[in-house]
Amino acid sequence: MDLKDKVAVVTGGSRDIGKAVSLKLGAAGAKVVVNYYNNQAKGAETVQEITDAGGTAIAVGGDMTQAGDVDRLVEETTSAFGDSVAVLVNVVGGLVARKTLAEMDEAFFDHVIRLNLNSVFLACKKFVPLMTDGGSIVNLSSLAGRDGGGPGAIAYATSKGAVMTMTRGLAKELGPSGIRVNCVCPGMISTTFHDEFTKDEVRKNVAASTPLRREGQAEEVADLVTYLASSESSFLTGTSVDINGGLAFS
């Protein structure tokens, strides 16, 4: 999966799945723009790992739910690497908290939707003008977007289902320009997401009921993202690819 000298932007690219994606794209030869939200040290650490391995990368802070911050990400990307972007990976997102319908207020619901859906919209809106034939967008959804998620994940699952729908719409709209748009739907992946929001006994039960009898790893998701970003997947667009060890099929 050769991405030599292609510019790849990874939103939320400094931790967990995002960091693994940044490292894999760098290893494939891409010039990686690592976006982080508020942890500059994590962004710098990810860039250092890429450059230590012989790659090229920069870190850019910013809130991807804010148009001005996305504009600044575009500006710093083009300043460093020119006016052409080949790959955009939208990893930014999160559960925020587990809340039932009765516990949620409108502000919480809106925040989760902005974090998981508006961030994808804004990044695509701002970066697509820099993409040409052969470009690839990979969005991160979730198994929750297919099955409604676990307890207290209504807002999160709704936003991730919308990401899959947006992926399909963008694939139709951008396909004539040669830009592909795909989506990855991880199941139970061993990350700080589940460290924070999922009880240990639940994780063990899910792993035990998964045909492969384990949680997935961020690096495995990154391998799939890198494949979708590369020309090896040149006739794939509009897809939402499951990666969950056989826990659920679609």
Tens digits of residue pLDDT in 167-207: 999 999 999 999 999 999 999 999 877 778 788 888 999 99
| Average pLDDT, rounded, for the chain | 96
Which of the following is catalytic: 36, 37, 156, 227? 156
- In terms of DSSP H, where are the helices of the chain? 16-27, 40-52, 67-81, 106-113, 119-127, 144-147, 154-174, 192-197, 200-209, 218-229
Catalytic residue at 227? no
Task: Using CB atoms within 10 Å of the CB of residue 77, give its burial: 0 to 12 exposed, 13 to 18 middle, 19+ buried.
Answer: buried
pLDDT-based confidence at residue 78 (cuts at 50, 70, 90): very high
pLDDT of residue 197: 74
Give me the amino acid identity at 165. Answer: T
In terms of DSSP bridges, do strands 31-36 and 56-61 run parallel, antiparallel, or are they unpaired? parallel
Report whether pLDDT(2) > 90: no
Return the residue matching tokens 């919480």: 108
All structural domains of the chain, each given as residue ranges with its CATH number in brackets, are: 7-240 (3.40.50.720)
CA distances from residue 181 to 101, 123, 172, 208 in whole angstroms, order as listed: 32, 13, 9, 33
In terms of DSSP bridges, do strands 240-243 and 87-90 run parallel, antiparallel, or are they unpaired? unpaired
Task: Using CB atoms within 10 Å of the CB of residue 53, give its burial: 0 to 12 exposed, 13 to 18 middle, 19+ buried.
Answer: exposed
Instruction: Give residue-wise pLDDT tens across range 101-156.
Output: 999 999 999 999 999 999 999 999 999 999 999 999 999 999 999 999 999 999 99
Give me the amino acid identity at 145. Answer: G
pTM of the complete model: 0.96
DSSP annotation of 124: H
With the CA atoms of 21, 80, 53 and 8 taken in that order, what torsion angle do they form, in degrees rounded to the nearest 10? 20
pLDDT of residue 191: 86
